[in-house]
Structure 1
Amino acid sequence: MKRLLLAGVAAALLFGAPAHAQQPTSLLNASYDIARELFAAVNDAFIPAHKEATGQDVAVDQSHGGTSRQARAITEGLEADVVTFNQVTDIDFLVQNGFVSEDWQSEFPNQSSPFYSLPSFLVREGNPKGIEDWDDLVREDVQVIFPNPKTSGNARYTYLAAYAYALEAFEGDAAKVQEFVKAIFDNVPVFDTGGRAATTTFVERQIGDVLITFEAETKAIAREFGEDQYDLITPSVSLLAEFPVAIVDRVAERRGSGELAKAYLDFLYTDEGQRIAAEHGHRIENETVAPEFAENYPEVRLVTVEDVFGGWDKVQEEHFASGAILDQLYGQR
């Protein structure tokens, strides 16, 4: 990517024009399903900030969907300049297919994750079923809503968080852990393909007793549909959900959009970008901005994929590969 940017500058100087004049004026961000409002706000702030800094008018287009499907779409021709995903494995898929550089996690701070969240619960006002933690989700009287973990990064975090809870509860007994997770699957009346569709099922179709999704989404639902209509429940333990970002090098090199793509992702780490993320329910690590929102985020014990499962490569092999644990449990529904 550095070589790409230097080549662009050299070409601009050779032809006697400013470097940014050779850059395209539009950008496509391929993102996860429930990030529409977040990136609408990011784009509204980035465009004038970029104009002020460079004098360049730009447009940012969005594509939203389950990130596994988004990653496949890019390999099949979706010309996204950047990805803002909700799971590392989908960017690694792009690495394996030659679209993203192998060292992508070193290109931006916090391993290229500008903010984070966790699987959390949303229940109807008054919490009529008394749902407080993961073990309530296996009760016969509880219907659970979350999307299909085969197609949704959001749901994969839910699956891994439930699995991590069960590993502790059953002291690593694999048979009991998998029985527990399968019981949660059995309580899901419909598996939607992505997080936004699952929200629609819970909120608009009024199906289910509890929606499991990123904490950021539970906060957004409460804001949009009325905080008097829903209760937000933070489980005793959950899984750190990173939101990794990357430049799609193959597309950026072909389009000459590398400089603009980097500027866009850099903006997510600025105080303004971090404030927008926090306002939309995401947890941040920015030491200047985070204290402004501290009271909005309950304390929760977060475990990580690295500590519990040995890292994303091992998770992919043992849980998400064809015929692995997720296939076995999901196929037994």
Structure 2
Amino acid sequence: MFYRQLQKWMDSRFWILSHSFLFLLLASLSFSLLLPACNRYTVSPSPLPPTDEITPRRQPIELSLVSYAVTRAAYAEIIPMFKEKWHREHHQDVRIRQSYAGSSTQTRAVINGFPADVVHLALALDTNKIQEAGLIQPGWEQEVPNQGIVAHSVGAIVTRAGNPKHIRTWSDLAKPGVSVITADPKTSGIARWNFLALWGAITQTGGTETEALNFVTQVYRNVAVLAKDARESTDLFLRQNQGDVLINYENEMILSAQNGLAKNTLVIIPDVNISIDNPIAIVDKYVDRRETREVAEAFVKFLFTPEAQRAFTKVGFRPLDPIASQKFPPIKKLFNAEDLGGWNNIQDKFFKDNGIFDQIQLEIKNTGSR
């Protein structure tokens, strides 16, 4: 009895062991068969994105540009090009706050605290005033290419259609019966260039200063009203039809023609002329305070690139490239402010209180010629 029960127990244990062995064998074979299939679907790590896709985006930066009025059209094209270039190279948006007005007005605003990073003014004299206020470091002309001159213009004489007064050059503006429109050199930067163009037309062609004084006095006898600035003088001539002749920048008249405002006029570019050079500069105190020096320097440098020079040329400025300048009327005798003594001497000699311009006005008043 006992052996019979023992045999039965051993048979049951054998069955369990044999079936367990069979289960393990089948499981092992199944795993071996599945392993190659799993290897076929191994997930590879994703490649890293290109470096420029993971470059951190910098916070936007603001640049403040203060300029004299007639540059607005050029900057309307230049600024978007610079912003795109800066974003592409630095992964940062740059916002450019712009202000356009008369050069003297802009100069006073910057000196009085307007935070301009870059100034583009009508006269180096105005830039020097900002330097004297301690906002621009001495030697600013050496910190930028071409002493800060990004483009040129020259003086232009504008007559009515058909040129009824037979004006050909500066000397004709002194003829009796010719009504001249120009701005006041005491308040307008362009008017100072106009004055110097008249003065240099004599002294830079062999004439004496006495002859220059007599000639310029006669021209201003023919000026019925001195406009406060260049834009007002242009409006008096083109919109209100006052005067026989307007003296202005060449680029201003080209832009006026593009805008359809110079119809029924004739523009004359005298072949003895002054190079109207309007400098650009970085305002050191403000860029350091606002931490904008890097973008300000890049912006100024961009103005000398071919694409920016084309934008200046498109609205009437003469570019720095002599070959590109050949599309403009030639100038036989071109002089500049330095030929007349430099801006500090020019200011003291001609435009300070009781200077030559005031003496001319007093002479005209005393003789009752206006």
TM-score range, shorter chain: 0.7 to 0.9
Matched residue SS, 1:243: strand
Alignment correspondent of 2:26? none
Which residue number in structure 1 is paired with residue 231 of structure 2? 196
Q: Which residue of 1 aligns with 2:334?
A: 302
Does structure 2 conserve the Cα–Cα contact (< 8 Å) formed by 1:222 and 1:230? no
Aligned partners of 2:241, 2:273: CA distance in 1, in Å?
Answer: 25
In structure 2, distance between residues paired with 1:135 and 1:169: 12
Matches within 5 A, 1:172-191: 172-174=208-210, 176-191=211-226
The correspondence of residues 37-52 of structure 1 with structure 2, limited to 5 A, is 37-52=73-88
Cα deviations by residue, 1:22-68 (Å, 9 ceiling, x for unpaired):
7x622221111222212222223222222222222122222222212
CA shift for structure 1 position 189? 2.3
Cα contact 1:65–1:194 (8 A) shared by 2: no
TM-score, scaled relative to structure 2? 0.78
Residue 312 of structure 2 is aligned with which of 274, 277, 280?
A: 277
Which whole-Å deviations, capped at 9, do the CAs of 1:289-309 have from their partners, x for residues lacking one?
A: x534522333342112222x2
Residue in structure 1 matched with residue 72 of structure 2 by the alignment: 36
1:291 and 2:323 matched: yes
Displacement of 1:198 in angstroms is 1.6
* 1:242–1:250 CA distance, 2 compared to 1 (3 A): same
In 2, distance between residues paired with 1:313 and 1:267?
29
Q: In 1, distance between residues paired with 2:70 and 2:183?
A: 12
Q: Is 1:237 equivalent to 2:269 in the alignment?
A: no
Could you say what secondary structure the match of 1:126 adopts? coil
Deviations 1:175-207 (A, max 9, x none): x32232122222222222222222111111111
The residue that corresponds to 1:248 in the other structure is 283
Greater displacement, 320-329 / 220-229 = 220-229
Unaligned runs of 5+ in 2: 1-54, 365-370
Gaps of 5+ in 1: 1-16
Aligned pairs (5 A) from 1:67-106: 67-106=103-142
Q: CA deviation at 1:171?
A: 2.2
> Could you report, residue by residue, the CA deviation over 1:122-163 in whole angstroms, capped at 9, with x for unpaired residues?
222222221111111112221112211112111111101101
Determine if the alignment matches structure 1 residue 146 to structure 2 residue 177: no
Q: Which residue of 2 aligns with 1:315?
A: 346
Report the counterpart of residue 247 of structure 2 in structure 1. 212
Count, aligned residues:
310
2:296 is the alignment partner of 1:264: no
CA RMSD of aligned residues (A): 2.2
Residue equivalent to 1:171: 207
How far residue 116 of structure 1 moved from its aligned partner, in angstroms, is 0.9
| Equivalent residue in structure 2 for 1:327, among 354, 358, 367 | 358
CA contact (8 A) 2:271 2:331 kept: no
SS at match of 2:248: strand
Residue equivalent to 2:23? none
Letter in 1 for 2:76: A
Distance 1:53 1:198, change over 3 A: farther
| Structure 1 stretch displaced more, 292-301 or 26-35 | 292-301
The alignment partner of 1:46 has SS state of helix
Distance in 2, matches of 1:324 and 1:187, equals 20
| Aligned mates of 1:102, 1:330 — CA distance in 2 | 35
Residue 227 of structure 1 and its aligned partner are, at CA, apart by: 6.4
Residue of structure 2 in register with 1:123 after alignment: 159
1:13-32 correspondence runs (5 A): 21=58, 25-32=61-68
On the 8 A contact 2:61/2:94 being kept in 1, the answer is yes
Residue 72 of structure 1 deviates from its aligned partner by 1.5
Letter of the structure 1 residue corresponding to residue 336 of structure 2:
T
**Deviation of residue 226 (structure 1)?**
6.1
Distance 1:301 1:99 in 2: 36
- The 8 Å contact of residues 319 and 325 in structure 2, kept in 1 or not, is answered as no
Are 2:318 and 2:328, in contact at CA under 8 Å, matched by a contact in 1? no
Rounded to whole Å, the distance in 1 between the matches of 2:325 and 2:346 is 32
Contact (CA 8 Å) 2:238, 2:261: kept in 1 or not? no
Q: Percent identity?
A: 33
d(CA) in 1 for partners of 2:87, 2:362: 51
